[in-house]
Amino acid sequence: MALKITQDCINCDVCEPVCPNEAIYQGIEIYEIDPDRCTECVGHFDKPQCQTVCPVACIPLDPEREETQDELRAKYQRLTGHTP
C-alpha cells in the first residue's frame, strides 16, 4: 500500500526531506504523498521514514492503494533502476 497523510498533519516539514522517492510534497493545506512514487521505503529502508519521523502519527497506510511487497519492489525498481 502507499501511505497517505491525514488532516491531522501539522505541516512540521520533517517528512518531506526523509522520503527517498521524493513522493512527499506540500499540498494546498497539508503535505501529500504521490502514491505512484511511494514504495513505503521498500528498497531503501526497513520502515517508512516519514512514519518514523512524524511527531503526530498522521501517515497511515492508504487502504485505497493496496500493494503487495512484490509490487512495491517493482515500483522501487521502476523509479530507481535498481533491484532491491
CATH of the domain at 54: 3.30.70.20
What per-residue confidence (pLDDT) applies to 84?
67
Is residue 48, in this structure, part of any structural domain at all? Answer: yes
What per-residue confidence (pLDDT) applies to 83?
80
Is residue 8, in this structure, part of any structural domain at all? Answer: no
Is residue 25, in this structure, part of any structural domain at all? Answer: yes
Domain that holds residue 44: 16-80
Is residue 11, in this structure, part of any structural domain at all? Answer: no
Is residue 49, in this structure, part of any structural domain at all? Answer: yes
What per-residue confidence (pLDDT) applies to 22?
97
Q: Residue 24: which H helix or E strand, with range?
A: strand 24-26
What per-residue confidence (pLDDT) applies to 20?
97
Read off the pTM.
0.92
- What is the number of domains present in the chain? 1
The CB density around residue 40, as the number of other CB atoms within 10 Å, is 23
- Location of C-alpha cell 528498497: 43
Is residue 5, in this structure, part of any structural domain at all? Answer: no
CA distance 49 to 29: 22
> What tens-digit pLDDT sequence spans the chain (84 residues)?
799 999 999 999 999 999 999 999 999 999 999 999 999 999 999 999 999 999 999 999 999 999 999 999 999 999 999 886
